[in-house]
Amino acid sequence: MGSMKVTLCGIEMENPIIPASGTFGYGYEFAELYDINCLGSFSFKGTTKDPRFGNPTPRIAECPAGMINAVGLQNPGVDKVISEELPKLKKCFHKPVMANVSGFSVEDYAYTCERLDKEEQVGWLEVNVSCPNVHGGGMSFGTSPEAAATVTKAVKAVTKKPVIIKLSPNVTDIVSIAKACEEAGADGISLINTLLGMRIDLRTKKPVIANKMGGFSGSAIFPVAVRMVYQVAHAVNIPVVGMGGVTTAEDVIEMMLAGATAVEVGAANLVDPYACYNMVNELPAVMEKYGIQSLSEIIGMA
């Protein structure tokens, strides 16, 4: 059997599959279904400095080949994540975990990352710069190279663990933003976050979700994600984590050929809780089918 091992920012993983933030909770919910230690890692629910209730309901809408969500970063806040969620996670997951961090100011990001950086279970900090900048008129930090670089520098100044910046696809030039993050000290880039989407109910003549618009994810966005991963991976010299519409082991291989060192799986977990488990188990046969001896050797081969 070929080798599924990859190394992400200096940390070796048994395989490249990572359930994406917001689709896997804090792990222990899925540990009731299968041994989640079969995964390369997972990115836990987006964590903010203070507790957040999230957006009003309804906040999820189905679409052909995907879904729209506007959950609004509902989470108990970093203090409770550290005191309550991580101890539960440690009982069922025995590998480094990816801590996903969101914020509404540069100070928020720095505070939350500094706290999580000290936690033994945390291997990487995945910093989501798709959040609205409350001091910048509500535009997301990830829409400008300067803002993304500012967050990167602030987080790197207070942390020792690898920092992976998660980028929004809702921009005209994702490469310039990725390069700005790299120059500011990022250890890796993850992409893509959700596209902006909307549905309207024909009966009520109103938007389906209370927030009007939300993040569009699912298999429909896969070609966009592959394109952006390819563009960024060929423009930076740091590892890329690819995600966006991944639903099969074949999709994982395609993402890696585009340049991803590891691959996150999001919406598929909400359709089938065994999605990542199945991908891990199906990868060896797919590798054999396409004559792949080692996954680490195909990264960026396309």
Q: How many CB atoms are located within 10 Å of the residue 33 CB?
A: 10
- pLDDT at residue 137, as a whole number: 57
Q: Is residue 105 part of a domain?
A: yes
pLDDT tens-place string over residues 33-49? 999 999 999 999 999 99
Which pLDDT does position 135 carry in this prediction? 66
- Assess if residue 259 is contained within a domain: yes
Provide mean pLDDT across the span 136-161: 90
Mean pLDDT of 177-198: 96
Distance CA 68, CA 48 (A): 22
- 200-246: pLDDT as tens digits: 999 999 999 998 999 999 999 999 999 999 999 999 999 999 999 99
Q: Is residue 130 part of a domain?
A: yes
Mean pLDDT of 86-94: 96
Establish if 67 belongs to a structural domain.
Answer: no
- Contact criterion met (CB below 8 Å) for 274 and 248: no
Q: Which residue has the tokens 């890692």?
A: 41
Share above pLDDT 70 across residues of the chain, in percent, rounded to a whole number: 97
3-state secondary structure (DSSP) of residue 193 = coil
Helices (H), the chain: 28-31, 78-80, 86-92, 106-117, 145-156, 174-183, 222-233, 249-258, 267-271, 275-289
Band (pLDDT 50/70/90 cuts) for residue 2 is: confident
User: Counting every residue, how long is the chain?
Assistant: 302
- Domain membership of residue 64 (yes or no) is no
Q: Domain of 148: which CATH number?
A: 3.20.20.70
CA distances from 176 to 99, 270, 279 (A): 25, 32, 32
User: Does residue 131 fall inside a structural domain?
Assistant: yes
Over residues 260-278, the pLDDT tens digits come to: 999 999 999 999 999 999 9
Whole-angstrom Cα distance, residue 58 to residue 204?
14
> What percentage of residues in the chain have a pLDDT greater than 90?
91
Is residue 94 over pLDDT 80? yes
In total, how many domains does the chain have? Answer: 1
Model confidence at 170: pLDDT above 70: yes
- Between the two ends of the chain, the Cα-to-Cα distance in Å is 23
Specify whether the CB–CB gap between 189 and 182 falls below 8 A: yes
User: Can you give the pLDDT at residue 136?
Assistant: 62
Q: Which DSSP category does 140 fall into?
A: B
Q: How far is CA 293 from CA 35, 290, 302, in A?
A: 26, 9, 16
Inter-residue contact 256 to 5 (CB < 8 Å): no
Coil vs helix vs strand at 31: helix
pLDDT value of position 72: 86
pLDDT in tens, 108-146: 999 999 999 999 999 999 999 987 665 665 568 999 999
Tell me the whole-structure pTM to 2 decimals: 0.96
- Write out the residue range of the structural domain in which residue 172 sits: 6-54+73-196+217-297
DSSP string covering 166-227, please? EPPS-SS-HHHHHHHHHHTT-SEEEE--PEEE--EETTTTEESSTTS-EEEESGGGHHHHHH
Which residue in 9, 63, 92, 131 is the catalytic one? Answer: 131
Q: How much is the CA Rg of the chain, to the nearest whole Å?
A: 18
Residues 53-81: tens digit of each pLDDT: 988 899 999 898 999 998 888 999 999 99
Residue 202 counted as domain residue: no
Note whether 198 and 213 are within 8 A (CB): yes
Distance CA 101, CA 126 (A): 6
CA 207 to chain centre: 27
Q: What is the residue-averaged pLDDT of the chain?
A: 95
In a domain, 152, yes or no: yes
Confidence of residue 1 (pLDDT cuts 50, 70, 90): confident
Q: CA dihedral defined by 152, 158, 161, 166, rounded to 10 degrees?
A: -20
Annotated catalytic, 131?
Answer: yes
Residues 259, 36 contacting (CB under 8 angstroms) = no
Query: Which residue type sits at 66?
Result: G
Number of C-beta neighbours around residue 106 at 10 A: 18
